[in-house]
Homo-oligomer: A and B are copies of this chain.
Amino acid sequence: MEKWVYTFGDGCAEGDASMADLLGGKGANLAEMCSLGLPVPPGLTITTQASNWYYANKMSLPQSLKTQVMQAIETIAQITGREFGTGDNPLLLAIRSGSRASMPGMMDTVLNLGLNDQTVLALAKQAGSERFALDSYRRFIQMYSDVVLGIDTAFFEEVLDDAKARFELDQDTDLTADNWRIVIERYHELITEESGSPFPQDVNEQLWGAIGAVFSSWMNRRAIAYRSLHNIPESWGTAVNIQTMVFGNRGNTSATGVAFTRNPSTGENRLFGEYLVNAQGEDVVAGIRTPQNLTEEARIAAASDKVSMEKLMPDVFAEFGNIARRLESHFKEMQDLEFTVEHGKLWILQTRTGKRTAKAALRIAVDMANEGMLSRQQAICYIEPSSLDQLLHATIAPSAKRNVIVTGLPASPGAATGRIVFSSTEAEQLRNEHKAAILVRTETSPEDILGMHAAEGILTARGGMTSHAAVVARGMGKPCVSGAGGMRVDYQTGEMRILGKVYKTGDIITIDGSSGQVLAGTVPMQQPVLTGAFATLMEWADKTRRMEVRTNAETPHEAKTARSFGAQGIGLCRTEHMFFDAKRIAIMREMILASNEEGRKTALDQLLPFQREDFVELFEIMSGQPVTIRLLDPPLHEFLPKLPEEIAEVARAMNVSEDVLRQRNESFYEFNPMLGHRGCRLAISHPEIIEMQARAIFEAAIIAGEKTGSLVVPEIMVPLVSLTRELEYVKKTIDTVATAISSEAGVQFEYKIGTMIELPRAAVMADKIAGSAEFFSFGTNDLTQSTFGMSRDDAASYLPDYERKNIIESDPFVSLDLDGVGELMRIATQKGRSAKPDLKIAICGEHGGDTASIFFCESLGLDYVSCSPFRVPIARLAAAQAAIRYKS
């Protein structure tokens, strides 16, 4: 016969903490505490299996369950010396849900079960307080009617309000026993009216009603929605915990409270919590009375005049403190406790791992390791790497009031306040006036780079988590909210409309890139702190990890930021971003629109010094570390003039008619630019472009090497290779430039040539391609696009539907698709290393900063990951965790 019921109490228990799947989190921990000899009100847990049986059998319960429950209640009655539904000392029960994962407040609870018109009299006598007994009874009736009988609580509120008006009383606590007796009588009538039958006096009927209601609540709307949000499978089911009631509302030696073993905001190792004298748990939650501090220290800090528990009940407080420490070191985790004191006797009602801020988590992990509670490796694994994001940016103060006007995607974390601008020009103008701007665009393109640099934050109406705006903003470490679909931008009038409301150029807004919210006006902020526990944990992580962490950076600012965040080099410098400066873009356009190679060369000669200077600066900043430079990648039309005045300007500069220019412009049009004339395809049709780039790189390496006294070995990366001969051709072109410069300058220098693996063909041909490559770097953005045949810029129109309909688990542009894209990476790694065992292999797509993806990279044995500067600490931690996981 299946065991449906597990009892606990009196220092022993049938279950333990490891059985959360079967007993739920709460039930498993109650059993564990009981076995530890802690004061837990005796009770029983009905397994999650029973919940599944319930749903598999038309919401009925197995007979064997009923027998087991009744036996367990008998045991509890014996332990407590009470009787269920009868006698002088009636056994009252609390019925609570308890699933494997915490689902706070989503399911139902019934307290004080076992009271009826008879037992309430016995309770009054036994407790020596008629008022207490009647108050408990009416609470039970209200709760039971709501949860089990489905009668709207508003009816009961109305009765109570009527009574208070009639008795001319303000607070529930002001009602006397007689008052309550009248209220309860009215409750009984109400129930008969609403449900057609009287309130059940049979305590067993009460019990089975409550158990059924808890099981049913697993499928209520809130619970279903919560599970869907948190990816909790329906099949897990819920357990039911049935426990002896204890009362915190039996006078001034009774109390109830919640506590964290450490401060959940700061992580400080001090007991942190609140309590209320003479109250039940629901009173704390309801917020009718202001809770009191647990400790004297906290009371003083809060300048509260309400007595602390430490002062009021020093013995109980000391016992609680001991229990809290004991539970923390038992579970090796900061605990979140619920307790009740009944007539000076402490009862622990729940313990679980406490939620905390990222900052607190860091401090706790480091402290626990220093205290010897955790090893350093455990401390490293203790922190969710992505939670560090909160620490690296200014954020909206938790206390701030949020006037949300629209919500988009949390595209790049951190918050920023500034004036709305709709163009790069305006953003730059405001920066010159030392005013903060938020750049608002329908979507951004490479032309907006300067404006993005000048602005404090970026807001777009279109585009996903990996849209241009999102990727570039993350790279810059600027807050960004993308794809705020509820917003319409009108560049002509300089307005954006949200739900009919108009926001104009110059209006102040705040964007929260961590939540996706856009707020009206200014909002208080808090600044990041990267010393202390953060620095310590990062140091431990660095000693533990096998993979290196580099950064994707092209500006000096990004490179410096990344280095300060611990980057070990640049893994991806996108050279195209260097051409959008006003001076350069004009020359770039002349180069592209030149009608022959000579014209292109003339323009390229002008670009050379700029490009060289860029590289010199980067090499200096990254001195002693490797710098990987990707050759020009995007299709040339991304650089072309689009606005009439730009076309006019370029036409003037080139001394051709605007019509001719417009026609040449059009000849660059592509149906699918992502699959177009870009990457190494440009290098092959216009070798003069990469000749210029190679020259700039080598000359810069020589100059920077002399300046810093440290040899620069540039790594040149060829994008979008699919054919072996593409790489061979580009390599030959670069080698020729290197030879020429070497003899011009009379110096020898070293460099490496490698390739992006970002097309499926490159992945399956990796053994051949490895022949000409000194390193591989997975460009997982493009690889994901081509493997899925899915443009990340266009996917927003159907991906949400995909997630809703459960077709895909997560956006593959955010979290690497291990099955498909990962399989191609596995093939490429295996083939590449089969041809060249010491081939250096890395990842430099957006996924390089994603924890799950980094774990996958470790499992493949990659050499390094490269990510945007603000993801570097995340990657360092994730790489350490991955090294621990995959340590052979």
Contact of A791 among B671, B760, B782 (CB under 8 A): B671
Question: A725–B806 contact, CB under 8 A?
Answer: yes
Residue-wise, chain A 814-829 has the 8 Å CB interface mask toward B (1 for contact) of 0001011101100100
What is the CA–CA distance of A352 and B864 in the complex, to the nearest angstrom?
61
Question: B807–A787 contact, CB under 8 A?
Answer: no
A676 interface hit (Cβ, 8 Å): yes
Q: Residue among A681, A789, A806, A827 with the most chain B CB within 10 A?
A: A789
What is the CA–CA distance of A134 and B787 in the complex, to the nearest angstrom?
75
Question: A677–B726 contact, CB under 8 A?
Answer: no
Question: A675–B791 contact, CB under 8 A?
Answer: yes
Q: Which residues of B contact A793 (CB under 8 A)?
A: 670-672
Question: A684–B802 contact, CB under 8 A?
Answer: yes
Question: B797–A677 contact, CB under 8 A?
Answer: yes
Given contact pairs A673-B794, A722-B789, A764-B820, enumerate 18 new A-B contacts (beta carbons under 8 Å). A670-B791, A671-B793, A671-B794, A672-B673, A676-B797, A681-B798, A720-B789, A723-B807, A725-B807, A759-B787, A759-B789, A760-B789, A760-B824, A761-B788, A764-B819, A764-B823, A764-B824, A764-B827
Q: Which residue of B lies closest to A790 (CB)?
A: B675
A659 interface hit (Cβ, 8 Å): no
Which residues of A, 738-777, contact B by the 8 Å Cβ criterion? 758-761, 764-765, 768
Q: Which residues of B contact A722 (CB under 8 A)?
A: 787-790, 820
A808 interface hit (Cβ, 8 Å): yes
Expressed in whole angstroms, the minimum distance between the Cβ of A758 and any Cβ of chain B is 7
Contact of A807 among B672, B726, B823 (CB under 8 A): B726
Q: Which residues of B contact A805 (CB under 8 A)?
A: 684, 729
Expressed in whole angstroms, the minimum distance between the Cβ of A377 and any Cβ of chain B is 35
Q: Residue among A726, A768, A786 with the most chain B CB within 10 A?
A: A786
A685 interface hit (Cβ, 8 Å): yes
Going nearest first, the 5 A-B pairs with the smallest beta carbon separation are A675-B791, A760-B760, A761-B820, A672-B791, A676-B794
Question: B684–A801 contact, CB under 8 A?
Answer: yes
Which residues of A, 19-76, contact B by the 8 Å Cβ criterion? none
Q: Which residues of B contact A720 (CB under 8 A)?
A: 789
Copies of this chain present: 2
What is the CA–CA distance of A722 and B788 in the complex, to the nearest angstrom?
6
Q: How large is the interface on A (under 10, 10 to 19, 20 to 34, 35 or more residues)?
A: 35 or more
A648 interface hit (Cβ, 8 Å): no
Question: B789–A685 contact, CB under 8 A?
Answer: no
Which residues of A, 652-706, contact B by the 8 Å Cβ criterion? 670-677, 681, 684-685
Q: Which residues of B contact A819 (CB under 8 A)?
A: 764-765, 768
Contact of A759 among B788, B801, B807 (CB under 8 A): B788
Contact of A672 among B674, B685, B798, B827 (CB under 8 A): B674
Q: Which residues of B contact A674 (CB under 8 A)?
A: 671-672, 675, 789
Question: B677–A794 contact, CB under 8 A?
Answer: yes
Contact of A685 among B673, B791, B798, B821 (CB under 8 A): B798
Expressed in whole angstroms, the minimum distance between the Cβ of A786 and any Cβ of chain B is 4
Question: B760–A808 contact, CB under 8 A?
Answer: no
A466 interface hit (Cβ, 8 Å): no
What is the CA–CA distance of A824 and B786 in the complex, to the nearest angstrom?
13
Expressed in whole angstroms, the minimum distance between the Cβ of A619 and any Cβ of chain B is 31
- Chain A residues in contact with chain B, CB under 8 A? 670-677, 681, 684-685, 720, 722-723, 725-726, 729, 758-761, 764-765, 768, 782, 785-791, 793-794, 797-798, 801-802, 805-808, 817, 819-821, 823-824, 827
26 contacts between A and B (CB under 8 A): A670-B794, A671-B673, A672-B675, A675-B789, A675-B790, A675-B791, A676-B791, A677-B797, A681-B798, A684-B801, A684-B802, A684-B805, A685-B801, A722-B788, A722-B789, A726-B807, A729-B805, A729-B807, A760-B760, A760-B786, A760-B787, A760-B789, A760-B820, A761-B787, A761-B820, A764-B824
Expressed in whole angstroms, the minimum distance between the Cβ of A804 and any Cβ of chain B is 10
Expressed in whole angstroms, the minimum distance between the Cβ of A718 and any Cβ of chain B is 13
Q: Which residues of B contact A677 (CB under 8 A)?
A: 794, 797-798
Q: Which residues of B contact A791 (CB under 8 A)?
A: 670-672, 675-676
What is the CA–CA distance of A807 and B805 in the complex, to the nearest angstrom?
44
Q: Which residues of B contact A673 (CB under 8 A)?
A: 671-672, 794
Q: Which residues of B contact A671 (CB under 8 A)?
A: 673-674, 791, 793-794
What is the CA–CA distance of A798 and B723 in the complex, to the nearest angstrom?
14
Q: Which residue of B lies closest to A788 (CB)?
A: B722
Beyond A761-B820, A821-B761, is A787–B788 a contact (Cβ under 8 Å)?
A: no
Question: B675–A798 contact, CB under 8 A?
Answer: no
Q: Which residues of B contact A808 (CB under 8 A)?
A: 723, 725
Q: Which residues of B contact A685 (CB under 8 A)?
A: 797-798, 801
What is the CA–CA distance of A759 and B797 in the complex, to the nearest angstrom?
20
Q: Which residue of B lies closest to A802 (CB)?
A: B684
Question: B820–A758 contact, CB under 8 A?
Answer: no
What is the CA–CA distance of A474 and B82 in the complex, to the nearest angstrom?
90
Q: Which residue of B lies closest to A808 (CB)?
A: B723
Q: Which residues of B contact A765 (CB under 8 A)?
A: 819-820, 823
Q: Which residues of B contact A802 (CB under 8 A)?
A: 684
What is the CA–CA distance of A326 and B677 in the complex, to the nearest angstrom?
57
Q: Which residue of B lies closest to A720 (CB)?
A: B789
Question: B786–A684 contact, CB under 8 A?
Answer: no
Q: Which residues of B contact A807 (CB under 8 A)?
A: 684, 723, 725-726, 729
What is the CA–CA distance of A201 and B765 in the complex, to the nearest angstrom?
61
Q: Which residues of B contact A827 (CB under 8 A)?
A: 764
Q: Which residues of B contact A797 (CB under 8 A)?
A: 670, 676-677, 685
Expressed in whole angstroms, the minimum distance between the Cβ of A466 and any Cβ of chain B is 13
What is the CA–CA distance of A674 and B672 in the complex, to the nearest angstrom?
7
What is the CA–CA distance of A673 and B793 in the complex, to the nearest angstrom?
10
Expressed in whole angstroms, the minimum distance between the Cβ of A792 and any Cβ of chain B is 9
What is the CA–CA distance of A768 and B729 in the complex, to the nearest angstrom?
39
What is the CA–CA distance of A794 and B787 in the complex, to the nearest angstrom?
19
Q: Which residues of B contact A670 (CB under 8 A)?
A: 791, 793-794, 797
What is the CA–CA distance of A808 and B764 in the complex, to the nearest angstrom?
17
Expressed in whole angstroms, the minimum distance between the Cβ of A627 and any Cβ of chain B is 26
Q: Which residue of B lies closest to A801 (CB)?
A: B685
Question: B820–A675 contact, CB under 8 A?
Answer: no
Q: Which residues of B contact A801 (CB under 8 A)?
A: 684-685
Q: Which residues of B contact A782 (CB under 8 A)?
A: 789
What is the CA–CA distance of A675 and B821 in the complex, to the nearest angstrom?
16
What is the CA–CA distance of A764 and B822 in the complex, to the nearest angstrom?
10
What is the CA–CA distance of A805 and B808 in the complex, to the nearest angstrom?
42
Q: Which residues of B contact A820 (CB under 8 A)?
A: 722, 760-761, 764-765
What is the CA–CA distance of A675 and B793 in the complex, to the nearest angstrom?
9
Q: Which residue of B lies closest to A676 (CB)?
A: B794
What is the CA–CA distance of A729 and B798 in the complex, to the nearest angstrom?
14
Q: Which residues of B contact A789 (CB under 8 A)?
A: 674-675, 720, 722, 758-761, 782, 785-786
What is the CA–CA distance of A824 and B789 in the complex, to the nearest angstrom?
14
Q: Which residue of B lies closest to A761 (CB)?
A: B820
What is the CA–CA distance of A272 and B786 in the complex, to the nearest angstrom?
57
What is the CA–CA distance of A788 and B788 in the complex, to the nearest angstrom?
13
What is the CA–CA distance of A124 and B115 in the complex, to the nearest angstrom?
143
Q: Which residues of B contact A672 (CB under 8 A)?
A: 672-675, 791, 793-794
Q: Which residues of B contact A725 (CB under 8 A)?
A: 806-808
Q: Which residues of B contact A790 (CB under 8 A)?
A: 675, 722
